[in-house]
Every structure is written in structure tokens, then in C-alpha cells.
Chain A
Amino acid sequence: MKYLKQFGIILLISLMGEALRMLLPLPIPASVYGLVLMLIALMTGIIKIHQIKEVSAFLIEIMPVMFIPAGVGLLEAWPSLRPVWIPVVVISSVTTIIVMVVTGRAAQRIIGKEKKEDGTVFY
């Protein structure tokens, strides 16, 4: 029954995320509310890691598979995408690389700087 209970806890937090989504008029999905709620529950000790560990590891491991239906859904979007597909694909691709590089380099620069200042290793 261990796994059932773990799955139950995770679903309960997801449900609470849905409730927040309905109560608050912000464009934030239930999953993001749920993530924050789960983090708070773990930090305050209401939920202990061992109570969700195995099932959460499983769900995270199979996460890539969960994006297949959305990706295949591009077939459906094709009629509306068709007239603008070139700018959409070019902009989506190039800006993704730009954001990845800017974020990574900016974070790395600060980590490097702080490391130099007090000589400690951060990871």
C-alpha cells in the first residue's frame, strides 16, 4: 500500500493546486501552484520526503513521455500554423538558444565571482 499512499498524497497536492487555480484570477496553472505547495509542505515538515519518494522519482523519470501527446498535437495546429510557420519556427529556435546561453553564462559568471571572493566551493 506504500505506493498507493504516495500517489494519493501527490494527487491531493495536485487537487489543492487546482483549487488555488480556481480561487485566484492569475494565469498560473494548477501544476505550478502544486509545485509550490509541495515545496512548502516539505519545508515545514507536513510531508516527509520518504512519504512520496518512490512515486515522485517514477513520475519524474517518465516525464518526457508525457510530452508526446502535446508534440503530436502540432499536427492539429498545422492549419493555423501553416501561414506563419517560417517566422514561428525561426523565432522559436533562435531565441531558445539565446535564452539558454544568456541564462547559463550570467549565472555562471556570478557563481565564479562569488567563488573567487571567499574561496569556497559551491557544489
Chain B
Amino acid sequence: MEQFFINSVFFGAVISLVAYEIGLLIKKKFRLAILNPLLLAMLGVMAFLVIFKVDYDHYNEGAKYISYLLTPATVCLAVPLYEQLTLLKKNFKAVLVGILSGVVASLVSILGFSVLFGLNHEQYVTLLPKSITTAIGMGVSEELGGIVTITVASIVITGILGNVIAEGVCKIFKIQHPIARGLALGTASHAIGTAKAMEMGEIEGAMSSLAIVVAGLLTVVGASVFAGII
């Protein structure tokens, strides 16, 4: 049996899709935000791999074809963005101020917590790019001398958490305007947050896509300035 999982090319992709479908069913049945299909699917696959002692590499043999589509899918985010271009131009100032405040808040709060936890320079710069999309974040971390594996882990944790709590946070803090919601999700939790924004609505999705790009670029500059502090 284990040998089969190791040799199969389709196993990794199939178990990911099945786990996601099960996640959707559970979400539909219980209707709780914490029962996020993405989160459930990941935990389900993790449990399966641990129980059946399948290596991540063997799982990824099949799963990598799902990840492969991530670049083309990100390219496609230009479509909702293009469709909301008029709205974007009208609200240019709000978009810019929103994303900029978010990026500054991210860097300042990471600095504050790093001081609080007594992190060293290496650990601090590892976390600085945690709110931006993985590929940019990895580059920033590497350049500043951080530990790239941990940066990726914190980016993934940030994304999933953002995806799970988005609706609750918007409700509690009264973020009701679709533009504000989209910007908040994209700036705080990059592409994984954008996946949730797409579910919320077209405007949310478009603004979140834009925020991935703008917040990513602003963080490249901002992180290099903040890196000198600790």
C-alpha cells in the first residue's frame, strides 16, 4: 500500500482535491467560519500523510501539478482588476492610503512584537515579509539574511489565518465597504486572502488582487528600511 502511494503520480493531486471537497461539505453542513475548506483540507492531508507514513516529497510528486497552476491563476487576477478599473480610478486615494497604512502597520507591529519576544536580527527579518505573497516574501527574506523556510511557513500561516478570520474581522471592526474589505484581505494575507475575497464578491476580489501587487512592492522597500532597526 505504502509503495503504491510512493509510486503514484496522481495520488497527491487526488487526495488534495478529495480533501477540499470534504472540506466544502463540512463547511456547508456546519456553516462555521473556522471550518474553512482550505484549512480542513490541509489538516486532512497532513493527517493522512502522517498516519500512512507517506513522505511530503512523494505527496508533492502529484500535488506539484496543482501548485503549477498558481502562476497562471495569479496572472488571471488581472481580469477582475481590469473589470473594476473605473472604480479603482475613482477611489485611487483610498486604495493607496489603505494599502500604505496596512504595510506600515505590518512592519511596525512585527518590529514591536520582535522586541517583545526578544528576537534576534535573523529571526526579525525572517518575519518582516510575512504578509506578502510567497515568492516576493522569499526574495525579501533571503536578501535581508532571514531563514527562508520559516518565512514561507509564516506567510502560509498568515494567509490561511487571514482566509479563515476575514469575515469575522470585517464584521467585528465594521469594515463594510467592498473596496475596504478587498484591500484589507489582500494587504494582510496576500493570495490566500484574495481567494476568500473572490468568494465575497467581484469588487472585493479585484481590490484584493491589486493589494497583493502594491503591498508586495511597498514591502520590498519598507522591509529593507525596517531591517536596520534590530
Contacts and interface: CB of A to CB of B under 8 A. Distances in A.
A98 to B, nearest CB: 5
A103 B98 contact: yes
B82 A39 contact: yes
Contacts of B91: 111, 114, 122
Interface string A46-79: 0001001101110111111111111111111100
A42 interface: yes
Contacts, number: 330
A110 B105 contact: no
B71 A17 contact: yes
Chain B binding surface, main DSSP class: helix
A79 to B, nearest CB: 9
B125 interface: no
A108 B180 contact: yes
Contact of A92 (B20, B79, B127, B170): B127
A32 interface: yes
Given A69-B12, A103-B183, A59 B73 contact: yes
Interface of A: 7, 10-11, 13-14, 17-18, 26-32, 34-39, 42-43, 49, 52-53, 55-57, 59-77, 80-81, 84, 87-108, 110-112, 114, 122-123
